[in-house]
Chains A and B, each alone.
Chain A
Amino acid sequence: MKALQKYKRTYILALQNEMEYRTDFLMSIISGGFIILVQCFLWTAVFRSSPQEIINGYSYSQIIIYSVLSGVVSKLVSAGFEGEVANDIKTGGLSKFIAQPIHYFSYRICNFFGGKTVQTAVVLVLFVILMIVFTQIWEFQLRVGQIVLFLVSILFGLLINFLLFYSISALAFIITEVWGVFIAFNQGVYLLSGAIFPLNIFGDTFARISSYLPFQYVVYFPVKIINGSLTIHEIVPGLLLQAVWVIVLMIISKLSWDSGMKKYVAVGG
């Protein structure tokens, strides 16, 4: 019980810390809004110039809803701590965690969720507003069960994304200047998770390949739950696959960190 206290405390501290950076988060929401706006303009132009009502299986309203929701969800699950971790490794900040009775992984995950709690509160408010707007202008329906499943899948998505970035940040043990890798990885995840376009737009081959990868479970899958394009028979296996990915990635991150830790040479003589 006492041992859990330290992680609870880390969570609370991260929560408080996040509140110190209100403007920062607000700005990131606004910048996310721009991207959504650009996508909406793009799709509007595409649909205007096309004689078809449905493009790639999406109607105009469906694609707009997808763009907006994926923008919001990708903001919600975004990692952003990888730089901090790399910095800890590079400058030797990791040393204090080795010397203290606290696990770095647990510390990071509490820290991550602590920061996310504040963001989630803001994003959920935004979400409710968007949902009301959508149900008003388009025939868009929501069931309670759908919302619950959506929230569960978001939680898994958060975990998957955390583990992906936690694993990749172990590269800082080998590569001292790891920023380039992070940027590339970030863009890759952004695309493959379905944050920009729904993944089936890229064709069947692409969809099949990405179904073997964890990325689509970060954004694409949760958004498909909430926009109503999945039946319950598709959602449940999806959630199970998310859980499987969480376990697989946990093992990967453990392996990469264990081997990294062996290499770890605290800086300074």
Chain B
Amino acid sequence: MSIIQMEGLSKSFKYYEKELGLKKSLKNLVKRKSLIKEAVSEISLVIEQGEMVGFLGPNGSGKTTTLKMLSGILYPTSGQATVLGYVPWERKKEFKMQFSIVMGQKSQLWWDLPANESLYLNKCIYEVEDEPYNLVLDELTEMLDVKDLLNIQVRRLSLGERMKMELIASLIHRPKVIFLDEPTIGLDLISQKRIREFLKYYNQQTKATVILTSHYMADIEDLCKRTIIINQGKIVYDGDLRRVNELFHAKKIIKLQFTDEVPRQALSDYGVITQHDGLNAVMEIDKHDLQRLSKMMLDRFPILDFTVEDIPVERGIESLYQKDGVRHESLAKV
């Protein structure tokens, strides 16, 4: 059985536009032009139990909105979704008891009290018995190495430490589905890595289904086998992140180093030059012509070093972002 199903899920917001200037402000008092922004449009997805799925997309692409609909915070404008068999926006208690949402930018901890007070409150909110609570707490604090920090006021903790506490707070009731909205935002590399390792381990241990949004490629590359790239409210890619470039299969990157200067024009016959300074050059070449062209170049130019590379994943995603979300073909079930 699939844990999460979405069928044509859409959400549009009404907002007001105000042009620059005092005059326009006055005009706005009387009459406001309301516009409609489609934050999420027609998203259909199926996610199975134990999957760890990454939502990737630029700011304002609709990642958070999707998560908010899945956790019942927002009503969709149209479309359907079920999580664990429940319709999230019916906000049933049985549903709430089985999932968790962590918003990296919003704290659920009591600022002026030690973290363990907030954790204990969550224990009560989710009606967890003493014994399992102590067990989970022990396990999680050990894994995240924050045992000594439980008695310190939350506001005195560092951002990374606080994020770890947020995670613990949201896992106290052993949710079957976890939504993580930017869990590593603003953290340094080591903390990011720590949290990633933890999430990976937790997912493997508990078989919980996890959806994660992030701006950091590393987060998703490291954690999620399946990546869903969203742009302007639409799914533009669904599949393995490493294979994103197969959408643009055609190209390879060649790095060249010469013993003597080679002019730019001479190279331009073979492909698109992205970097050139006489002795070094980086070019993009059609994959199919790679063999033929490189042979020709090796014969023609005084080449010292020659390497062929794949186009980096970031580049592929960038071009997906720029495609205005019109692209629908996906490499999903490969």
Contacts and interface: CB of A to CB of B under 8 A. Distances in A.
A251 to B, nearest CB: 21
Interface in A76-133: 91-93, 95-96, 98-102
A5 B133 CA distance: 15
A2 B127 contact: yes
A266 B11 CA distance: 12
B60 A269 contact: yes
Interface string B61-72: 111110010011
A16 B110 CA distance: 11
State the main secondary structure of chain A at its contact with B: helix
22 contacts: A6-B124, A8-B124, A9-B124, A13-B110, A13-B113, A17-B110, A17-B112, A91-B106, A92-B106, A95-B73, A95-B103, A96-B103, A98-B71, A99-B96, A99-B99, A100-B96, A101-B126, A265-B13, A268-B64, A268-B105, A269-B60, A269-B63
Contacts of A20: 112-113
B243 interface: no
B117 A13 contact: yes
A92 B59 CA distance: 17
A3 B72 CA distance: 21
Contacts of B117: 13, 16
Contacts of A5: 124, 127
B81 to A, nearest CB: 15
**Interface-centre pick from A6, A10, A96, A100 (highest chain B CB count, 10 A):** A100
Given A92-B106, A266-B68, A269-B65, A3 B127 contact: yes
B157 to A, nearest CB: 15
Interface in A8-36: 8-10, 13, 16-17, 20-21
A66 B83 CA distance: 59
A-B pairs, top 5 by smallest CB distance, nearest first, are A6-B124, A9-B124, A101-B96, A5-B124, A2-B127
B91 interface: yes
A91 B126 CA distance: 24
B96 A269 contact: no
A253 to B, nearest CB: 19
Contacts of A16: 113, 117
Contacts of B121: 6, 9-10, 13
Contacts of A9: 120-121, 124-125
B101 interface: yes
A157 B19 CA distance: 47
Given A13-B121, A93-B106, A6 B96 contact: no
A180 B112 CA distance: 28
Nearest to B126: A101
Given A13-B117, A20-B113, A98 B127 contact: no
A17 B113 contact: yes
B108 A96 contact: yes
Interface residues of B, number: 36
Contacts of B97: 101
Interface string A231-251: 000000000000000000000
Contacts of B59: 269
Interface in B39-70: 39, 59-65, 68
Contact of B93 (A21, A92, A93, A101): A101
Interface in B12-54: 13, 39
A91 B105 CA distance: 10
Nearest to B89: A98
B298 interface: no
Interface in A191-229: none
A269 B213 CA distance: 12
A102 B173 CA distance: 14
B74 interface: yes
A193 B112 CA distance: 33
B106 A96 contact: yes
Given A16-B117, A98-B91, A99-B101, A269 B124 contact: no
Contacts of B110: 13, 17
A98 B70 CA distance: 12
Contacts of A6: 121, 124-125, 127
Contact of B71 (A21, A99, A269): A99
Contacts of A102: 125
Given A2-B127, A269-B39, A98 B72 contact: yes
Contacts of B62: 269
Contacts of A96: 101, 103, 106, 108
Nearest to A4: B124
A269 B121 CA distance: 29
